[in-house]
Structure 1
Amino acid sequence: MRRARNPVQTAVWWVKKQPPKVKTALAVLTGILVLIFLRFVIRDHDNLFVAAEFVHAVGIGCLIYKLMKEKTCAGLSLKSQELTAIFLMVRLYCSLVMEFDLHTLLDFLTFLTTAWVIYMMRFKLKSTTSDDLDNLPKYYVVVEPFTAHYVFALGIARFLSCAHWILQVLDGHSFLLNVLGYGLWPGMVLLSEIVQTTILADFCYYYVKSVMDGQMMVRLPSGVV
């Protein structure tokens, strides 16, 4: 007698069978529904930013655990971490100029931990780094668990941050909009958040797919990362 499938497994199996356009439409629809849910459930939308920083911190915690326990940088891209640090520095500067509040403290702590990861990769564990991750294209990429957890957490954090910005724009009377004005800047910030979220959403899909398949490693086709 065939064992009944778990509803979640059934849904995942159905999504796997769909063509890319349908998967994209489903992802967009899911994102919109989640945004609607967040708008009506969370009164203070700044909490989304705090949640995003918390999830990001959890992801960085996975990297720190990996570096401290395994003493290896295998699977990590130094350039990606350095680009992240540059992004965080710019955001920290903007936060200092515009807000100087809890957001600033969270940005500062996130930057410090990212800087520590870069220090470990560039100096303490330099012999274990792989230039291939930054220079050579691959037909497929296999991401080890701790790195996969970090990137997945980063994807969730970017979505929450993107939701924070979208809801701020929809509110129309937020502090951030008053600071940035109502010209080109809000649109540029929102567009950058959407682009980052879209890029990481692809990885999150393969992460969930690998977890549902019971795989510890996340296998990505060429072009995903």
Structure 2
Amino acid sequence: MNIFRLSGDMTHLASVLVLLLKIHTIKSCAGISLKTQELYAIVFSARYLDIFTDFISLYNTIMKLIFLGSSFLIVWYMRRHKIVRRSYDREQDTFRHFFLILPCLLLALFIHEKFTIKEVIWTFSLYLEAVAILPQLVLLQRTRNIDNLTGQYVFLLGAYRALYLVNWVYRYFTEPHYVHWITWISGLVQTLLYADFFYYYFQSWKKNEKLHLPA
């Protein structure tokens, strides 16, 4: 564990807390893509299959439980909560997210570090996480007018992955034989998808204006 990994984890956790604050306290999921949240639920379910079989540390187990539990809780709120679900913009959130799952699974079957069920499913989770934000970004481009909590949520989610990139660079230079090309490339792709959003987020912050994305 280093400061960059810890910062990435805390930023990721902060993004979840911001989204739960919006949904639970304000009782609104306006501007949030259910498609992206469902993809994240699949990502964490696939990645954390070892949660009850391989103990790494108490910290690791707690973080896994938080991300697993929160992802399904958010999906439940958006689908089932009688107040929150009313604010879901179903007409705008039309990205066919399930078409991302099969290509990621096929890619994991052909490009992996070791051909075992556990390793293939874990690799699948990396590929799917890299593109899971796409429905959310498309929704933001369609709605254009983004409230502060939604903007902060997406920014923190992107910042978490960017911090993980720094963590990997740090570990490459400080740990012998630390090479994980699949993880690195997937993380880089995921971070690049946020580049446009980051630009407009910082522009709005600098000008003290409401965040707008171009159509």
TM-score normalised per structure 1: 0.65
Q: CA deviation at 1:126?
A: 2.1
Residue 160 (structure 1) aligns with: 163
Task: Report the residue type matching 1:50 in the other structure.
Answer: L
* Structure 2 residue 112 is matched with structure 1 residue 119: no
Following superposition, the deviation at residue 134 of structure 1 comes to 2.1
Q: 1:189 is aligned with what amino acid?
A: T
Rg bigger for which structure? Answer: 1
Distance in 1, matches of 2:21 and 2:186, equals 30
Q: 1:219: how far off?
A: 0.8
The verdict on how the C-alpha distance between 1:115 and 1:140 changes in structure 2, with shifts beyond 3 A counting, is: closer
Q: Is the partner of 2:212 in helix, strand or coil?
A: strand
Counterpart residue number, 1:215: 209
Q: Is the 8 A contact 1:166 1:190 kept in 2?
A: no
Contact 2:30 2:89 in 1 (8 A): yes
Amino acid at match of 1:56: H
Contact 2:34-2:93 at 8 Å conserved across structures: yes
Q: Distance in 1 between matches of 2:169 and 2:52?
A: 22
Q: CA deviation at 1:59?
A: 1.5
Instruction: List aligned pairs for 1:131-170, cutoff 5 A.
Output: 131-135=90-94, 141-170=144-173
Residues in 1 aligned to 2:190 and 2:171: alpha-carbon distance in whole angstroms: 18
Question: Whole-Å Cα distance in 2 between the matches of residues 107 and 205 of structure 1?
Answer: 31
Q: Secondary structure at the match of 2:144?
A: strand
Counterpart of 2:206 in structure 1: which amino acid? Answer: M
Distance 2:42 2:153 in 1: 18
SS of 2:198's equivalent in the other structure is helix
Separation in structure 2 between the aligned mates of residue 192 and residue 165 of structure 1, nearest angstrom: 12
Question: What CA deviation, in whole Å up to 9, does each residue of 1:106-143 have, x standing for no partner?
Answer: 13212212221111011002222112332176667222
Instruction: In structure 1, give the amino acid aligned to 2:6.
Output: V
Gaps of 5+ in 1: 1-43
Distance in 1, Cα, partners of 2:50 & 2:162: 20
Q: CA deviation at 1:67?
A: 1.3
Relative contact order, CA 8 A, sep 6+: which one is greater? 2
Q: Does 1:70 align with 2:26?
A: yes
Q: Give the letter for the 1:81 counterpart.
A: Q
Q: Is the 8 A contact 2:41 2:68 kept in 1?
A: yes
Kept in 1: contact 2:92–2:142 (CA 8 A): no
Q: Are residue 84 (structure 1) and residue 78 (structure 2) matched?
A: no
What do the CA deviations read for 1:36-89 (whole angstroms, capped 9, x no partner)?
A: xxxxxxxx53x3222212111112211111112321211110001111222222
Q: Aligned in 2, Cα 1:71/1:148: closer, same or farther, shift over 3 Å?
A: same
Query: Aligned letter for 2:214?
Result: P
Q: Which amino acid aligns with 2:86?
A: S
The separation in 1 between residues aligned to 2:50 and 2:167, in whole angstroms, is 16
Say whether residues 1:206 and 2:200 are aligned partners.
yes
Q: Which runs of 5+ in 2 are unaligned?
A: 96-137
Q: Judging changes above 3 Å, is the alpha-carbon distance between structure 1 residues 197 and 141 closer, same or farther for their aligned structure 2 residues?
A: same
Identity score, percent: 25
Q: Work out whether residues 141 and 221 of structure 1, in 8 Å CA contact, stay in contact via their aligned partners in 2.
A: yes
